[in-house]
Structure 1
Amino acid sequence: MSNVARTPPSVPVIGVSVALALLAGVVACLWLPWLAPWWLSLLLLLVGLAGWMSRTEWVPRRSIPMLAWSRISGAFLLGFGLAGLHGVYALSVQLPQRLEKQEAVVQGCIIDLPVHEPRRSRFMFRVDDGATLPELRGRTLRLAWYDDEHRGDVRRPRFDLHAGERWSLPVRVRAPRGLRNPGGADAEKFAMAQRLAATGYVYAPEMARRLAPAQGIEAWRERMSSSIAAQVRAPSARFVQALALGDTRALGDDDWEVLRANGLTHLIAISGFHVGLVAGFFALLARGAWWLLPMLARRWPAPTAAAAASVAGASLYAAVAGFALPTLRTVLMIAVVAAARTWRRPAHASQSLAQAAIVVILVDPLSVIGAGFWLSFFGVAWLLWCLPGRENNPVRSFLSAQGVATLGLLPPSVALFGQASLAGPLANLVAVPWWSLVVVPLALLGLLLEALHPGAGGWAWRWAVGCFDLTWPLFEHLAHSGLALVWLPEARWFALPLALCGAFWLLLPRGTPGKALAALLWLPLLLPDRDIPKHGEAELLVVDVGQGLSVLVRTHGRTLLYDMGPAVRDGFDAGDRAVAPALHALGVRRVDRAVVSHGDNDHAGGFEAVHAEFPIAVTYAPDGVDLPFATTPCLAGQRWVWDGVEFVFLHPPRYFPYLANESSCVLRIRGAHGSALLTGDIGEVIERDLVRLDAAALRTDVVLVAHHGSSGSSDPGFVEATHARIALVSSGHGNRFGHPKPEVMQRWRHAGARTFDTSTGGALSVGLRAGGLEVEMRRAAQPRWWDAAGRP
């Protein structure tokens, strides 16, 4: 036996353990409901950096295990502190809410491809030092330019906006704000990740001035996109624009629906996989040049040249994509691997992945709050772990990779998006090789030829469209078949870790015992507890739809939807953006009855989008309402019972003329453990009439305050007659009507009701259950440090 003492194992400075610890620190910081003060985050960062960079030669040999823990804990503290500093900075660049709706003149540059719609253009605007509001200087704004404003009989036209142009614009801005609902997108989180300072619109187009013509990479991208559209007279040219340039402006809702149903959104608009292919192609070109000209190796070794070429190619393609975040992550990963090759430090693939993760996190720790970060690294990590060997059969290797990716990425996909594509594995088997190895190269060849000589790229783009059209009908067929998207209810926080453990178990080598039991670990994610009301109980969810109304009522086995929110002309449809996702997140499969309280857009606008997603058995609306679908009149006295819960219309009476707000369907819900009153937009006249006709019928535990809390509703006599303990208001943050009015809210509070408003609390959930009234505000139940509510 050798008498040589062995050195205790240590932890590499940039190893897998350090990467996991750094990631854990970032996640721990960003998922807390608050941020530490900047000075504390800075202190943690410095302490963590010192622990992480501890050197082996500085400590005795027997203390090396302690050094390993020092590096791991140091990486954790470094991640926590770094994420905290980035979060504090992202908050600091946002416009304070006290300056909301301020008017300012800003000078700067359009930094993305403007999205042109029938009534407006949307674009990102980087402000330089020219801004009348100091808080906007050097900031990034998301702006809209409308063209439907009038001065007398003169219509003010919208100017033709292009990427890369410099403008002086008069704008009205406010801090980024979004809706908070089950299953809905978090716009405020997106604003944090993008470091957006404000959103707003051009309020006086006649004062706008173009300061400089379009220039830069964004201007080039827009010119190339226009060239594709001009030279390829085929509908599928929009997909070539997306695959070649990341320009998805021409893709419609139907296109995205097909892509989501087939699990192909990761391939469109330049994916990280495509960046890797381009990097590999550039590396092969460098290898070929060094093979043809051996004397080049005297100055620069061939492996180093190939590594540098791969990074250059990946960076160039990322620029073509507008430096989108997925492409930047891939470029950083390629650069890390290339640097290791250049320094001749061979490392296992998992080590390279860890190094890439460390670099990505250090560059932008807020990228961790985005879905793309997790899907990118999860996908590569699963493949590295499950496919470690070299497979001689490329077809079998490809099929194995697809199987591993499908099973391994299913848990995070369900947790992040609430959906799974049954057609995804089949669609990806076709799309990944065909789009990536045929369509994309042809599209890029067209870009190269067009850059060398205008008009020379048309034939390559037409070939790309022809090849794309060979597969698209298949994907459209799959999207409309039974293999389309499956929506899954919102799960608890522990469901994802359990499902990942189940996937890990299932992907263990053959012969591992108990694999069938691994499926049990998937149940909390795929079949979560929906918390369905029991017999005699009911639950109300006031969806956060902005300035509008939508209420979902659930009993033990039935659902009723009262109003569907607005669908405004600028492209926002609450039925599609808020109501439908909320119903999916709660596991709703069909709407047994719908009630359109009256025909105003803020109540009925989202109906078509909801109807497209869910079958609706019966729809009630006031008699005489002008709606583009068949309805049954809601009449006072109509009654039905579901699962021990009674539903009764109290207004309007028979032969009541349609008077918009005053004709709103008033619905009373009464269960074994409480009651609720949904009032639509009725005013004081109707409220007094209801009190006169039957004041006892108005007595309730929960009331939806009429007309969003306007001063023309909530008559004192009506408020007193309800004896409500809870008053709910659905209103939009900073709406131009000033709803809810302070005096109205005070009136309900004085009558003994607790008041809740969607504009501050997000979606409001009220349970009429055996345990008593349960009220939950979405923002309070799931607090986030980036929540705009309550910020000064």
Structure 2
Amino acid sequence: MREARMPGAAMTSVALLLGVAAVQWLPALPPSAWSALPGLVVLWASLHWPRLRLPALVLLGAAWAVWRGTLALDLRLPRDLERRDFDVVGTVSGLPQVRSDATRFVFDVDHATLDGTPVPLRGHVRLSWYDDAPVLPACSRWQLHVRLRRPRGLLNPGGFDGERSALEKRIAATGYVREDGIDRLLGPADCIDGVRDRISRGIAARVSDPHDAALLQAFSIGDTRGLDQDDWEVARANGVPHLIAISGFHVGVAALFGVGMVRLLYLLWPGLALRMPRMPAQAAAALLVAGLYGALAGLGLPTVRTLLMIAVIALARCSRRAIDGAQTLGLALIAMLLADPLAVLSAGFWLSFVGVAFLMLCLDARPRGLRGFLHELSAGQLVMTVALLPLTLWFFGEASLVGALSNLIAVPFVSFVIVPCALLGMLLLLLAPVAATPVLKLAAVFAHVQWWLLERLATWPGAHWYLPETQPCALLLATLGALWLFAPRGLPLRGLGVLLFLPLVWPVARLPAIGGFQAWVLDVGQGLSIVVRTRRHALVYDAGARYPSGFDLGEAVVVPALHALGIDRLDRLIVSHADNDHAGGAPAVAEAFPEASRYAGEPGRMPLPAKPCQAGQAWHWDGVDFRVLSPGPQVTGRRNDRSCVLAVDGAGGRLLLTGDISSQIEPIVAAAVGVSRPTVLVVPHHGSRYSSDPAFIAAITPRVALVSAGWHNRFGHPHPLVLARYAQAGVPLLNTATRGAIEIGAPPTDEPAVTTTWRQRRPRYWRE
């Protein structure tokens, strides 16, 4: 009987990956014991029936992901301890970010107490220290008095999933330091982040231009604290964020640096070959130098992937075994999944491994020598741009059509000019600081020239290419299309792979019919932003807040939501009134959509020019009527009462947007609404107790009421009295704080109603 062969490294890694990835689609994790039992049974069966080995690996990958996911969720702060004050002792992890309003950092908690009683809180906590925060050296040990809550994020179309990121990074809680005299430094400590911080400060001290210093810090050790939002826009427009975050190619260059040092050593002292063969010495040096540089670069996912591949190759060379690229990548993937299965939650994991796999598949038979290197460099950028397009759109909602050209220029220049120069400068900083100055200044000049060119390319057409939110089937078809396009020669009709990209780049638009409309109440925390779309037009009503830290909800939530919803043109931007939670994000929306006309209830206090919003204004789009009901001449006094109130009337019913009006203005609005129709009401002033008077609710008679409020906000919105008023009137009330973004459908043939909420639409086990 022929003995069955075990699956190779590549097949094993793919089977494990399928099992781990499948778990990430679950709305809730099964008990760990129940998930492990099927895997163990199938593993036992596979020893007797070899055909079951791959399914067994899939189930084992799933069981492993369930167990590790359960452990990560168990690290989170217990719900009954949220918004409580703790005394914690621990260490500053990573490099703290110092901003004008606060210092933000990750704190590794070793010990925590609540009112003197120990509590089971360990691991990473993300903290902010507001106002006059002291200097927080990396690795320093502190005792802090903090207020904490469980990780929670906003949930919107096209938006960042903060809760997924928190799970992947094992963040147990978030909060802020309370300054009450208990906070104190316990002592410094030594760690690799301390070395990173010293190198970063050494670069800043020797490079006079702050922006050039920030670029060099990012290119050399992955310290991106000095880069602003404009820098990241340039990077995304050129498809080069991977270079800023230290790509695997950088680590490969560091490994070659180690190989070169050993070759030089053996050239100077040939007798060393009698004591140790040169090949294992080169492999060990490559791994050592790459590991040191990877640690200095922060050990991001692309860095770890490259280190694992170098380790596999080094071990193979030291043991005199032959190993091909597929085995190397497969073993690296297995090691990554076994060490941290939750790494699959990161975009970097997929872009890194899938990108390398495509390169190995498509460039395996390249010519040798300089011609082969140039072929790999040019063809490799084309392969990476096209092959990673589906994943890039899936994770980020945008891609760069100039990315291939930008990477063709930036990858060799950064990897073979800037990084080696920076490596030498970093080495000199640690060994001979005086000699490091000219080297770092030269590297900064190179970084300046490189960035100047990228800024020019970022203005080209297609630098920012947005598409509606990618569907899983479109992602799968486009990935298969890339495999078909770049398959080895001999596969027939490879050009037809382009057709499989059509569902991705030309998705079916889900537009309302004439006389109907769609609306989305976005999840912007304690603020308001609403998108309304008819057949051929769109408007934004309010745009959320902008905070002193620079975090802008218009930029982070509203603009990505518009792109994800397939809205490439905005006709009107209406800001109810000038309070920050409504108007702060408006400049970012106006910058992204400059063609939109702008109206505001308080134009004189707006952060950008706008026409006054006044009662009586009206327009008609695609069978839908828009009417401004307030403010009129009779509205004076409080700023909230000057809110622009907008009624959207479709053939089937009405949407009423009320801003922050109080009960004093509600009778005016109720009288101006006119004939009673099926109505979806956006609750005034986030559910403040001074709004939503029972008479107003009775006059409007909404079918459903929607509140835009922050989770556990300090105002207590919506107020319990307001909740009781709507409940007494029999009106269902939905809150973005608990539902995420809320979608409203108003077809011309039916009443407007809530069609989905984002926490209901995409339930995942890591979401609160």
TM-score (norm. length: structure 2): 0.95
Instruction: For 1:645 and 1:695, locate their aligned partners in 2 and report how far apart those are by CA, in whole Å.
Output: 15
How far apart are residue 447 of structure 1 and its match?
Answer: 0.8
- 1:471 match: secondary structure: helix
Structure-2 residue corresponding to 1:154: none
Aligned match for 2:734, one of 747, 752, 756:
756
Instruction: For 1:205 and 1:274, locate their aligned partners in 2 and report how far apart those are by CA, in whole Å.
Output: 45
Structure-1 residue corresponding to 2:139: 164
Structure-1 residue corresponding to 2:679: 701
Greater alpha carbon shift after TM alignment, 540-549 vs 158-167: 158-167
Instruction: For 1:229 and 1:402, locate their aligned partners in 2 and report how far apart those are by CA, in whole Å.
Output: 32
- 2:597 match: secondary structure: strand
Structure-2 residue corresponding to 1:493: 472
- Pair 1:431-2:431 in alignment: no
Structure-2 residue corresponding to 1:85: 67
- Aligned partners of 1:623 and 1:658 also within 8 Å: no
- Pair 1:143-2:122 in alignment: no
Instruction: For 1:707 and 1:83, locate their aligned partners in 2 and report how far apart those are by CA, in whole Å.
Output: 43
1:503–1:325 distance in 2 versus 1, CA, 3 Å: closer
- 2:660 match: secondary structure: coil
Amino acid at match of 2:37: L
Structure-1 residue corresponding to 2:630: 651
- Aligned partners of 2:361 and 2:488 also within 8 Å: no
- Pair 1:441-2:420 in alignment: yes
Aligned match for 2:197, one of 199, 222, 238:
222
Greater alpha carbon shift after TM alignment, 188-197 vs 123-132: 123-132
Instruction: For 2:179 and 2:746, locate their aligned partners in 1 and report how far apart those are by CA, in whole Å.
Output: 49
- 2:359 match: secondary structure: helix
Greater alpha carbon shift after TM alignment, 461-470 vs 339-348: 339-348
- 1:494 match: secondary structure: helix
Amino acid at match of 1:120: A
1:718–1:318 distance in 2 versus 1, CA, 3 Å: same
Instruction: For 2:257 and 2:706, locate their aligned partners in 1 and report how far apart those are by CA, in whole Å.
Output: 60
1:232-280 CA distance string (max 9 Å, x none): 1123121111121211111111111111100111111322111122122
How far apart are residue 649 of structure 1 and its match?
Answer: 1.1
Instruction: For 2:400 and 2:750, locate their aligned partners in 1 and report how far apart those are by CA, in whole Å.
Output: 38
Aligned match for 2:566, one of 587, 606, 631:
587
Structure-2 residue corresponding to 1:150: none
Instruction: For 2:489 and 2:121, locate their aligned partners in 1 and report how far apart those are by CA, in whole Å.
Output: 60
How far apart are residue 207 of structure 1 and its match?
Answer: 2.7
Structure-1 residue corresponding to 2:5: 10
Instruction: For 1:250 and 1:137, locate their aligned partners in 2 and report how far apart those are by CA, in whole Å.
Output: 32
How far apart are residue 281 of structure 1 and its match?
Answer: 2.2
How far apart are residue 282 of structure 1 and its match?
Answer: 1.3
- Aligned partners of 2:75 and 2:121 also within 8 Å: no
Instruction: For 2:676 and 2:206, locate their aligned partners in 1 and report how far apart those are by CA, in whole Å.
Output: 67
1:308–1:549 distance in 2 versus 1, CA, 3 Å: same
Structure-1 residue corresponding to 2:714: 736
- 2:717 match: secondary structure: coil
- 1:375 match: secondary structure: helix
How far apart are residue 51 of structure 1 and its match?
Answer: 6.2
What is the aligned-residue RMSD (CA, Å)?
A: 2.0
- Aligned partners of 2:572 and 2:596 also within 8 Å: yes
1:130–1:781 distance in 2 versus 1, CA, 3 Å: closer
1:393-445 CA distance string (max 9 Å, x none): 12223212122112211111111111110111111111111110010110110
Which structure 2 segments of 5+ residues have no match? Answer: none
How far apart are residue 204 of structure 1 and its match?
Answer: 1.4
- Aligned partners of 1:271 and 1:327 also within 8 Å: yes
TM-score (norm. length: structure 1): 0.92
Instruction: For 1:181 and 1:425, locate their aligned partners in 2 and report how far apart those are by CA, in whole Å.
Output: 30
- Pair 1:112-2:107 in alignment: no
Structure-1 residue corresponding to 2:451: 472
Percent identical among aligned pairs is 45
- Aligned partners of 1:245 and 1:321 also within 8 Å: yes
Instruction: For 1:339 and 1:511, locate their aligned partners in 2 and report how far apart those are by CA, in whole Å.
Output: 35
Aligned match for 1:602, one of 563, 581, 587:
581
- Pair 1:176-2:158 in alignment: no
How far apart are residue 727 of structure 1 and its match?
Answer: 0.8
Amino acid at match of 1:87: G
- 1:684 match: secondary structure: coil
Aligned match for 2:168, one of 193, 205, 208:
193
Instruction: For 1:506 and 1:325, locate their aligned partners in 2 and report how far apart those are by CA, in whole Å.
Output: 27
Instruction: For 1:16 and 1:134, locate their aligned partners in 2 and report how far apart those are by CA, in whole Å.
Output: 47
Instruction: For 2:128 and 2:693, locate their aligned partners in 1 and report how far apart those are by CA, in whole Å.
Output: 39
Amino acid at match of 2:426: L
Amino acid at match of 1:162: P
Structure-1 residue corresponding to 2:35: 41
Superposed counterparts of 1:601-640, under 5 Å: 601-622=580-601, 625-640=604-619
Count of paired positions: 760
- Aligned partners of 1:491 and 1:525 also within 8 Å: yes
Which structure 1 segments of 5+ residues have no match? Answer: 60-65, 148-156
- Aligned partners of 1:136 and 1:197 also within 8 Å: no
- Pair 1:101-2:83 in alignment: yes
1:89-134 CA distance string (max 9 Å, x none): 1100011222111101111111111111111100111111354464
- Aligned partners of 2:584 and 2:607 also within 8 Å: no
Greater alpha carbon shift after TM alignment, 419-428 vs 480-489: 480-489
1:585-633 CA distance string (max 9 Å, x none): 1121222111111111111111011112122432121256411322222
1:293–1:40 distance in 2 versus 1, CA, 3 Å: farther
1:299–1:749 distance in 2 versus 1, CA, 3 Å: farther
- Aligned partners of 1:491 and 1:524 also within 8 Å: no
Instruction: For 2:531 and 2:637, locate their aligned partners in 1 and report how far apart those are by CA, in whole Å.
Output: 25
1:86–1:771 distance in 2 versus 1, CA, 3 Å: farther
How far apart are residue 660 of structure 1 and its match?
Answer: 1.1
Greater alpha carbon shift after TM alignment, 342-351 vs 493-502: 342-351
Structure-2 residue corresponding to 1:422: 401
- 1:366 match: secondary structure: helix
- Pair 1:28-2:3 in alignment: no
- 2:755 match: secondary structure: strand
How far apart are residue 290 of structure 1 and its match?
Answer: 4.4
Amino acid at match of 1:498: L
Instruction: For 2:623 and 2:466, locate their aligned partners in 1 and report how far apart those are by CA, in whole Å.
Output: 29
1:428-475 CA distance string (max 9 Å, x none): 111111110010110110111111123321111111112222222221
Instruction: For 1:758 and 1:512, locate their aligned partners in 2 and report how far apart those are by CA, in whole Å.
Output: 51
1:474–1:170 distance in 2 versus 1, CA, 3 Å: same
- Aligned partners of 1:111 and 1:125 also within 8 Å: yes
1:557-597 CA distance string (max 9 Å, x none): 00011000111223331111111111111121222111111
- Pair 1:273-2:273 in alignment: no
Instruction: For 2:352 and 2:453, locate their aligned partners in 1 and report how far apart those are by CA, in whole Å.
Output: 26
How far apart are residue 337 of structure 1 and its match?
Answer: 2.4
Structure-1 residue corresponding to 2:339: 363
How far apart are residue 774 of structure 1 and its match?
Answer: 4.3
Aligned match for 2:429, one of 450, 454, 464:
450
Greater alpha carbon shift after TM alignment, 83-92 vs 653-662: 653-662
Superposed counterparts of 1:21-420, under 5 Å: 21-44=15-38, 46-47=40-41, 50=44, 54=47, 66-67=49-50, 69-129=51-111, 131-132=113-114, 134-135=118-119, 137-147=121-131, 157-204=132-179, 206-234=181-209, 235-290=211-266, 292-293=268-269, 295-297=271-273, 300-392=276-368, 393=371, 394-420=373-399
- 1:198 match: secondary structure: strand
Greater alpha carbon shift after TM alignment, 174-183 vs 586-595: 586-595
Instruction: For 2:739 and 2:447, locate their aligned partners in 1 and report how far apart those are by CA, in whole Å.
Output: 46
Instruction: For 1:264 and 1:485, locate their aligned partners in 2 and report how far apart those are by CA, in whole Å.
Output: 13
How far apart are residue 44 of structure 1 and its match?
Answer: 4.4
1:677-713 CA distance string (max 9 Å, x none): 111111111113333x356446442110111111111
1:205–1:254 distance in 2 versus 1, CA, 3 Å: farther
1:776–1:130 distance in 2 versus 1, CA, 3 Å: closer
Aligned match for 1:566, one of 545, 557, 578:
545
1:275–1:47 distance in 2 versus 1, CA, 3 Å: farther
- 1:201 match: secondary structure: strand
